[in-house]
Chain A
Amino acid sequence: MATQAMFRIWRGDPAGGAFQDYVTPVEEGMVVLDAVHRIQAQQAPDLAVRWNCKAGKCGSCSAEINGMPKLMCMTRLSNLNLEMPIILEPMHTFPVIRDLVTDVSWNFRAKLTIRKFKPRTPDSPDGTWRMQQADVERVQEFRKCIECFLCQDVCHVLREHHKHDEFIGPRLLVHAAALEMHPLDAEDRVSDLKKKHNIGYCNITTCCRKVCPESITITENAIIPLKERVVDQFFDPLRQLFHII
């Protein structure tokens, strides 16, 4: 392994910025976030980076590494070509605050527009429910989400078309799927998904699924079944016929 590497880091704020090069020593086993910390401690103390657990569990250190949306704490240097500068940029879909830190608060506001969990009446007189492991597992996949927002970052509806006001993006569709498929949930979000959250904007290019650090099968397991529910409720020809009659 190389003993040093060059990191080309975007530095700036909402007014603008530029890439700056930093050369730092590297060792076996290091991840990108380690190198950023080293640069911060030795060369650029005010370099802005958001991070927290450094173990791939909190989803704070999302960035674009050589153009790929990734968690900096889970990207090993040994998987990158250290002969070339490693390019670090903030996520493009969200407004930059400074350097590698973006304003992701939209995700938190958008989540509030999704109807909350509403459990059915308890199954047992002691106020508890009975659920089968198989039913629980389907939803547990969605609940693995660490809210890193990398899927939002690659979603072209948000990234290219900036439909933040109309569309909730893959992360929140996964959230909606977790609620809709929750064995206890009694709320109906299908109409909202069509009219308010515009699930139809998603044309299942699976970019979101490919960048998910938790390997959630976003498109096939969450979004497509939700689209099917929308279709069942709004576009079923028999049902439409029934309506006309």
Chain B
Amino acid sequence: MPEFQRFSYDVLVIGAGGAGLRAAIEAAASGAKVGVVCKSLLGKAHTVMAEGGIAAALANVDDRDNWRVHFADTMRGGQYLNNWRMAELHAKEAPECVHELEAWGALFDRTKDGRILQRNFGGHKYPRLAHVGDRTGLEMIRTLQDHGIHCGMQVHMECTVLDLLMDSGRVVGAAGYDREKGLFQLWQAKAVVLATGGIGRAFKVTSNSWEYTGDGLALAYRSGAELQDMEFVQFHPTGMVWPISVAGILVTEGVRGEGGVLRNSEGRRFMFDDIPDLYKTQTADNEDEGWRYTQGDKNARRPPELLTRDHVARCINREVKAGRGTPHGGVYLDIAWIKQRLPKAEEHIKRKLPSMYHQFKQLADLDITKEPMEVGPTTHYMMGGIRVDGDSQMSTVPGLFAAGEAAAGLHGANRLGGNSLSDLVVFGRRAGRYAAEFARSNGAAVTIDDAQLQTTAAAALAPFDHGLSGENPYQIQYDLQDTMQSLVGIVRTENEMEEALDKITQLEARAARAGIGGNRQYNNGWHTAMDLGSMLIVSEAVTHAALLRKESRGAQFREDFPNKDPEWGKYNIVVKRGVHDEMLVEKHALPPIPDELKAVIEEMK
């Protein structure tokens, strides 16, 4: 019978990106004993990859901005499927959360009068993104990390969580193993916050790191919590397409915010050819106006390159399919052209986009101050996730909270750039606060089910029993990524998704036979085998939800239902586990929006 090393906390936070760390800081500040479990080393979570900035209506650059505009922008971007309460709280609390980061040491770029500088981004009416060049995520995670380590939290680095532990319908902790030594761990807790990020690793071309295997979503689903909006997977329009080995790595939207333009192989700025009605009045209709917008002209409208990500990604996809793509199957993103407009453009680009300059120089031998980049869509972000209460972030399972990318609601059918970093701190803070409160008022002794622990341990060790003659876990992962990429990707049809479901069923059978050699110490093959379970659950949920939604809206594009259907605009799709372990997929009517918020939306249309 395998031994478990045991720990006990008031609040257990799973995941140490922006949301997890912010939740842990908040819970610790309220006096709770906090444990943090993360799959990587501290400070390496995917938040470091965020580039462009954090959206908050600080109104430092344009004083017409306020929470109402930010709220309306977020709802419009999400095609009104958003949880209105989350969109409201997010818009109202983001500025405070940004100031909090500054008070903890974050150093944002400045305006001339010494306040936090803000930049333009797709779908935001005014310059709204507080930023640090193009490495805002690193600044944020380091700030939270360096503040957090002095708050008294216990961090368990490089651990995989295998199961949530339940007692009488509520969550009471988690079980897993540390990756370094492969020893089983039990973290008992009165409340658990899932802040495990997204699912991008289920796709072949992705900007996401290996960690993004949907663990939190799968843990929640298996313990009876509901998932929501799983059909909405954001494909970021600009990922690298060459060299092959770096395909998918993100090219920040900040490039377009600074004046970068998209062109096809014929040199045409194709984004001017297709501007959706919802955005017609806000979008420039000529190149000169677009340029003036990026340079801060308040009377100019934004260039079509800064339309929402779902739309830009589809336009790029269309150009490539129509044979107007680049040699490596993307389109051109050109920032070098601004030398026609700006003196010292080369230095300007290097100062504003240092990591992009670096990334292309080092990985593709290309100088972005001189040549255009080749870019194409890459799997980037999961709008869907664990269904939570807008105020408290508690899921449908008592004591189980979720925040950040792992939670659904804020972004609806499509997320605006910059709203993710603000999501992390606004809802990380709320999840931490309410989890600590839950722990305080539910402190009674709980029972840890030893039988469940043994089941967890036995399942985890199965790949060693199968040995090297079992299925290669890496190959199963590649095959799943191929399946999701080609059949449930940026353009979807019923036939292909039915085929995907069949393939997922076959992959599940193969995953059950996954085998590995070696021992339990830092065994990447074993880790991959353990990740497969989560990836398969989330892939199945995405496919089911995408099949049920027979329309195109936001990030979901159905070739067989290419139009938006107002009827579908009234529902979220909810996925949960049935009593016989079957996946239930249901339509849930959107909760009614209060009149005063409706008025805000109407006013800003």
Q: Are A45 and B472 in contact (CB under 8 A)?
A: yes
> Contacts of A184 on B, CB cut-off 8 Å?
105
Report yes or no: B110 in contact with A133, Cβ–Cβ below 8 A.
yes
Asked if B503 is an interface residue, CB under 8 A from chain A, the answer is no
Residue A40 at the B interface, CB < 8 A? yes
A144 in the interface (beta carbon within 8 A): yes
Q: By the criterion CB–CB under 8 Å, are B518 and A45 in contact?
A: yes
Residues from chain A with a CB closer than 8 A to the CB of B209 are 52-54, 58
> Contacts of B519 on A, CB cut-off 8 Å?
46
> How far does the Cβ of A142 sit from chain B's closest Cβ, in whole Å?
10
Residues of B within 8 A of A132 (CB): 110, 114
Say yes or no for B362: interface residue by CB 8 A criterion: yes
User: What's the tally of chain A residues with a CB closer than 8 Å to chain B?
Assistant: 61
User: Taking the nearest CB of chain B, how far is it from the CB of A187, in angstroms?
Assistant: 11
Within 162-214 of A, Cβ neighbours of B (below 8 Å) are at 175, 179, 182-185
Closest B residue by C-beta to A53:
B209
Measured between alpha carbons, how far is A150 from B397 in the docked complex, in Å? 44
Q: Which residues 210-247 in B have Cβ within 8 Å of A in the complex?
A: 210-211, 242-246
Say yes or no for B68: interface residue by CB 8 A criterion: no
A131 near B518 with CB under 8 A, answer no
| Contact partners of A182 in chain B: CB under 8 A | 105, 107
A93: Cβ under 8 A from any B Cβ: no
Decide yes or no whether B564 CB sits under 8 A from chain A: no
User: In the docked arrangement, what's the CA distance between A51 and B517, Å?
Assistant: 20
B135 at the interface (CB under 8 A from A): yes
Instruction: Give the contact stretch, choosing among B138-146, B299-307, B437-445, B486-494.
Output: B138-146
Known: A56-B362, A103-B180, A128-B99. A146 touches B138 (CB 8 A): yes
Chain B residue nearest in CB terms to A100: B522
Chain A residues lying within 8 Å of B517, measured Cβ to Cβ, are 45-46
- Can you list 9 A-B pairs with a CB-CB distance of less than 8 A? A46-B525, A53-B49, A56-B359, A58-B44, A108-B155, A111-B146, A112-B149, A131-B107, A182-B105
In the bound complex, residues from chain A placing their C-beta under 8 Å from that of B142 are 143, 145
A96 to chain B, nearest CB (A): 10
**Would you call A29 and B40 a contact (CB within 8 A)?**
no
Q: Which of A124-155 contact B (CB under 8 A)?
A: 127-133, 136, 139-140, 143-147
Residues of A within 8 A of B355 (CB): 57
Q: B107 touching A117 by the CB < 8 A rule?
A: no
Q: How far is the CB of A134 from chain B (nearest CB, A)?
A: 9
Contact B245 A48 (CB under 8 A): no
Q: Is the CB of B114 within 8 A of A55?
A: no
B133 at the interface (CB under 8 A from A): yes
A46 lies within 8 A of B362 (CB): no
Are A112 and B49 in contact (CB-based, < 8 A)? no
Residues of B within 8 A of A183 (CB): 107
CA of A99 to CA of B44 in the docked complex: distance in angstroms? 20
Q: Are A116 and B146 within 8 A (Cβ)?
A: yes
Q: Who on chain B is nearest to A138 by CB?
A: B107
Most B CB contacts (10 A, CB to CB) among A31, A48, A57, A59 go to A57
A53 touching B48, Cβ below 8 Å:
yes
B59 within 8 A of A: no
B41 pairs with A29, CB closer than 8 A: no
**Complex contacts, B211 vs chain A, CB 8 Å:** 52
Tell me, rounded to whole Å, the shortest Cβ–Cβ distance linking B386 to chain A.
23
Contact in complex: B107, A143 (CB < 8 Å)? yes
Q: Give complex CA distance A57, B356 in Å.
A: 11
A140 to B364, CA, bound (A): 26
Assess whether A53 is in contact with B46, with CB atoms less than 8 Å apart.
Answer: yes
Q: Is B560 an interface residue (CB 8 A)?
A: no
A29: which B residues are within 8 A, CB to CB? 242-246, 363-364
For chain B, the count of residues having a C-beta within 8 Å of the partner chain is 66
**Interface of chain A residues 25 through 75 with chain B (CB within 8 A):** 27-31, 34, 40-41, 45-60, 74
Report the minimal beta-carbon distance from A52 to chain B, rounded to whole angstroms.
5
Judge whether B577 is part of the interface by a CB distance below 8 angstroms: no
Is A46 a contact partner of B518 (Cβ separation < 8 A)? Answer: yes
Known contacts A27-B245, A56-B359, A146-B138; A49/B524 CB under 8 A: yes
Given contacts A31-B363, A103-B180, A140-B133, are A98 and B138 in contact (CB under 8 A)? no
B157 and A40 within 8 A (CB): no
Cβ-based interface call for B521 (8 A): yes
B406 within 8 A of A: no
Q: Is the CB–CB distance between B138 and A57 below 8 Å?
A: yes
Task: Give residues in A with beta carbon < 8 Å to B.
Answer: 13, 27-31, 34, 40-41, 45-60, 74, 76, 97-99, 101, 103-105, 108, 111-112, 116-117, 119, 127-133, 136, 139-140, 143-147, 175, 179, 182-185
Interface string of B104-133 (1 = CB under 8 A from A): 110111100111010000000000000011
Given the complex of chains A and B, what is the CA–CA distance between A41 and B133 in angstroms? 37
- Indicate whether A34 sits within 8 Å of B245 (C-beta atoms), given known contacts A52-B44, A128-B115: yes
B9 within 8 A of A: no
Other-chain contact of A116, B41, B49, B99, B147 (Cβ < 8 Å): B147
Q: Could you say which residues of chain B place their CB within 8 Å of the CB of A136?
A: 107-110
Name the interface residues of B465-501: CB closer than 8 Å to any CB of A: 468, 472-475, 478
- Taking a contact as CB atoms under 8 Å apart, the answer to whether A45 and B474 are in contact is yes
How far is the CB of B388 from the nearest CB of chain A, in Å?
27
Report which of A49, A60, A128 forms a contact with B41, defined as CB distance below 8 A: A60
With both chains docked as a complex, state the minimum distance between the C-beta of A56 and any C-beta of chain B, in angstroms: 7
B434 interface residue (CB < 8 Å to A): no
- A195–B586 CA distance with the chains assembled, in angstroms: 64
A31 touching B42 by the CB < 8 A rule? no
Contact of A128 with B102 at beta-carbon distance under 8 Å, contacts A46-B516, A117-B147 already known: yes
Distance between Cα atoms of A51 and B49 in the complex (Å): 14
Q: How far is the CA of A28 from the CA of B245 in the complex (A)?
A: 9
Q: Return A150 CB to nearest CB of chain B, in Å.
A: 14
> What separation, in Å, do the CA atoms of A17 and B244 have in the docked complex?
33
Is B291 part of the binding interface, using a Cβ–Cβ cutoff of 8 Å? no
A127 to B147, CA, bound (A): 19
| Contact across chains for B244 and A27 when beta carbons are under 8 A apart | yes
- Asked if A46 contacts B524 (CB within 8 A), the reply is yes
Asked if B269 is at the interface of the complex by the 8 Å CB criterion, the answer is: no
1/0 contact trace for B128-168 toward A, CB 8 Å? 00001101001100100011011000010100000000000
Chain A residues near B132 (CB, 8 Å)?
140, 143
Q: Which residues from B are CB-within-8-Å of A41?
A: 472, 474-475, 478
> Does A48 contact B110, Cβ atoms closer than 8 Å?
no
Rounded to whole Å, the gap between the CB of B36 and the closest CB of chain A is 12
CA distance A131 to B112 in the complex (A): 9
**Complex CA distance for A34 and B242, rounded to whole angstroms:** 14
The 6 closest A-B CB pairs, nearest first, are: A29-B243, A46-B518, A130-B114, A45-B525, A41-B474, A48-B522
Tell whether, in the assembled complex, residue A30 and residue B245 are in contact, meaning their CB atoms are under 8 Å apart: yes
Partner of A140, one of B99, B107, B114, B243: B107
Residues of chain B within 8 A of A28, CB atoms compared? 243
CA distance A28 to B296 in the complex (A): 41
Closest beta carbon of chain A to B586's beta carbon, Å:
36
